[in-house]
Structure 1
Amino acid sequence: MEFTIDQTRLVPSIGWAANGFATHPMIPILAGVRLGVSGGQLTITGYDHDTCGVATAEVTASHDGTAVVSGRLFHEIVKALPPKPVRFTVGPGRAEITCGGALFSLPTMLEEDYPPIPRMPAVAGTASATEFVPAVNTVAAAASRDETIPLLTGIQCDLSPDHLTLRATDRYRMAVRRLDWRGDTQPRTVSVPSRSLSTVGRAIAASGTEVGLGLSDTGGLVGLRVGRRHLTCRVLDGQLPDMTSILAGPFRRLAEVATADLNQALRRISLVAGRQTRIVIAFRDSGIEVSSGGGEAMGARETIPAQVSDTRRIEFNAGYLADGVAAVDSPVGFMDLDDRSGRIRLSGESGAETFSYLMQPLRPT
């Protein structure tokens, strides 16, 4: 096999397939990337039995064929090469990568050991990439990092003909984001590993204007298609509890504040306060006072302008609050209170029905 492709076109393609590379595989072949050339088209595949990334690109091919090499090494080499044509040549037991004056040799892996990859499910609907990527990023902040409860590490996708709703919770907070999409599916719900959606976000934003989402007939596989690239991953078992009543409230307004002001205040205070530190917000007639530390050796306090509807003092987990404020994608953010449960809801100018981030405040010290 021998082909040539410009480095600037090869980098994003191998970067997409890298989402399927196994980091510390029990089966060595899963650390490989499969390169296949046929009819002037290069197909790059990474697959770890849970996630499969496939990208295609046009190449100038001298000989068709297939080869498997170390995915991590190939990715790092390609990224380090200058923006010039890259020639990839396969010989007995090894592959050569040539670009400008640079030449790298890599051992090839046994192609017959590479497992069959899952097919990309038929696309059930599409959403704008400029809306889908921020939605995933904001909701993923509320997903759990604790693998002992796999369902909580995922993002639940509720599909309907007109809307795609993303939800995530780690039991201490919850994020919900609804976006428009064009679907031809009956209402369905599927939970996808948060890591799988988050890691491809940047690549999706750079790859196309639309994201297609498909579900397998058995419901065990979900796929994302962007242009000439697709990614499939296993779905998580189960569904999150119905949160309709929690989201409905009733909530009442605590404050209206410039999102950038609150974001910057939290970032400055984080210089002396870790993510697990208590952050105190004092709602006052003159504005919002954000503080941390109190009588401790290190502390910080900052007051920012805000329209306050109710004066009170509430304590938050610093990391949870920072994630929630960062997820508000409008110049003005709203903080609301559910008097029954004490939960705080953050939302933006698009309304709580489009985006909501719920937190349970900490007990006062």
Structure 2
Amino acid sequence: MKIRLERDVLAEAVQWAARSLPTRPSVPILAGLLIRTSDEAVVLSSFDYETSTQVHARAQVSDEGQVLVSGRLLSDICRSLPNKPVDISTDDSRMELTCGSARFTLQTLPVADYPALPTMPEQTGTVASDEFARAVSQVVVAAGRDELLPVFTGVRMEIDGETISLLATDRYRMALKELTWSPASPSSSGAALVPAKVLADTARSMTAGESVSISLSGASQGDGLIGFQGTGSGGQRETTTRLLDGEFPKVRHLMSIQPQLTVRGATAEIIDAAKRVALVAERNTPLRMLIGDGTITLEAATGDQAQASEALAATVDLHGAAEPSLEAAGFNPNYLLDALGALDAPFVDFAFTAPGKPCLLTGLAELDGEPMTDYRHVIMLMRLPASR
């Protein structure tokens, strides 16, 4: 194999393909990055038996071929190269990389031992790349990180005709985003539980093109394989990943609560105040929201060592109750900030039912407008002490 390509094109392609390489591969061969030629491009691939990545990069191909080398080492090398064209050539046991006066020789791995990458399933539909990336970023904040509970580390993707719903929960918060897309069939339907980390990385990396193609197999059973095809700044990118097993908890009903009390305020103001007050919040203690007449006050403390409070103007409304039964709510400060940051709206509506019950957050385009229900975020409230 003999190819030439630009340094930035190579560095970006290698970095993207190598990002899913396992830190501790079950088989040493999986630490390799497969490089092969294809017409006027070079294709870089990685696979760990769960997730596969492929990226097509523009290149001048003199001699065709393929080679397998250490992916992380090649990634480190590419980041350090001078800004000059890169020449890559191979023989039976070595790959030589030359960039200006810099020259590297890498021992190759046996290509014959490398596993075959999964076949991309048949296309299920396409979605606007920027909308998809924004939707995924809004939902993954609520996904769990505990690998011992894998079902909570995924995002449930539900397909119903021209609507995709993304749903995530870690048991203490839930996020739901609904967006429109272009299905391959108007009657498309199905559900899949996609690893949240893979979904987030993939959606974020495919925004250079107009759309992302989603390909789902085993959609009716909620298992199998899902694939994504899109465009990065250097060329076409493809990812497949195995879906997670297990039954996703039924939490959709929490997204349609009937509030007893609602609080509305400016999102940015509440974020800034919550960040300031949370500086003195002791670990595993709530950030208190005291609800008054036309105001909310955020409070936090670390015992007697430090206390903080900040009052903000807010619109407080009762719904079907003569007197409010909820005068204060306790939030995990990190969960509250994650939710407010994901809303992507100038104003926020807090919908409360009763003390200790979940709180529903939705965005508002205007303070007195209707809630924007395409994105809903639920936070389980923390128990507050009986007295302050």
> Is the TM-score greater than 0.5?
yes
Larger Rg: 2
Aligned-residue RMSD, C-alpha: 2.0
* 1:221 paired residue number: 225
User: Relative to 1, partners in 2 of residues 1:340 and 1:267: Cα closer, same or farther, differing over 3 Å?
Assistant: closer
CA distance in structure 1 between the aligned counterparts of 2:82 and 2:274, rounded to whole angstroms: 40
1:50 lines up with 2:50 in the alignment = yes
Look up the SS of the partner of 2:373 in the other structure: coil
1:217 Cα offset (Å)? 4.9
User: Relative to 1, partners in 2 of residues 1:363 and 1:341: Cα closer, same or farther, differing over 3 Å?
Assistant: closer
User: Relative to 1, partners in 2 of residues 1:179 and 1:275: Cα closer, same or farther, differing over 3 Å?
Assistant: farther
* 1:291 paired residue number: 299
* 1:231 paired residue number: 239
CA distance in structure 2 between the aligned counterparts of 1:239 and 1:230, rounded to whole angstroms: 27
Which is worse superposed, 31-40 or 260-269?
Answer: 260-269
* 1:281 paired residue number: 289
* 1:364 paired residue number: 384
1:152 Cα offset (Å)? 1.0
Alignment of 1:22-41 (within 5 A): 22-41=22-41
Q: Deviations over 1:102-161 (max 9, x none)?
A: 222222111111101101112211111111112111211111111222111100000122
TM score, norm. by length of structure 1: 0.93
1:294 Cα offset (Å)? 5.8
* 2:172 paired residue number: 172
TM score, norm. by length of structure 2: 0.88
Q: Deviations over 1:204-234 (max 9, x none)?
A: 22x3221111112584000111032110000
CA distance in structure 2 between the aligned counterparts of 1:40 and 1:349, rounded to whole angstroms: 49
Q: 1:222 is matched by which residue type in structure 2?
A: I
Equivalent pairs counted in the alignment come to 364
Identity of aligned residues (%): 32
1:308 lines up with 2:316 in the alignment = yes
* 1:249 paired residue number: 257
Alignment of 1:96-115 (within 5 A): 96-115=96-115
Look up the SS of the partner of 2:281 in the other structure: coil
CA distance in structure 2 between the aligned counterparts of 1:128 and 1:325, rounded to whole angstroms: 24
* 2:196 paired residue number: 194
CA distance in structure 2 between the aligned counterparts of 1:279 and 1:236, rounded to whole angstroms: 34
CA distance in structure 1 between the aligned counterparts of 2:42 and 2:261, rounded to whole angstroms: 55
1:363 Cα offset (Å)? 0.9
1:355 Cα offset (Å)? 0.7
1:267 Cα offset (Å)? 2.4
Q: Indicate if the aligned counterparts of 1:68 and 1:110 stay in contact, CA closer than 8 A.
A: yes
* 1:148 paired residue number: 148
Q: Indicate if the aligned counterparts of 1:275 and 1:318 stay in contact, CA closer than 8 A.
A: no
CA distance in structure 2 between the aligned counterparts of 1:150 and 1:273, rounded to whole angstroms: 30
Q: Indicate if the aligned counterparts of 1:19 and 1:199 stay in contact, CA closer than 8 A.
A: no
Q: 2:292 is matched by which residue type in structure 1?
A: R
* 1:212 paired residue number: 213
Residue among 336, 341, 357 paired with 2:351: 336
1:54 Cα offset (Å)? 0.5
Which is worse superposed, 268-277 or 325-334?
Answer: 268-277
CA distance in structure 2 between the aligned counterparts of 1:209 and 1:82, rounded to whole angstroms: 32
* 2:137 paired residue number: 137
* Gaps in structure 1 of 5+ consecutive residues: none
* 2:368 paired residue number: none
* Gaps in structure 2 of 5+ consecutive residues: 319-323, 366-370
1:167 Cα offset (Å)? 0.3
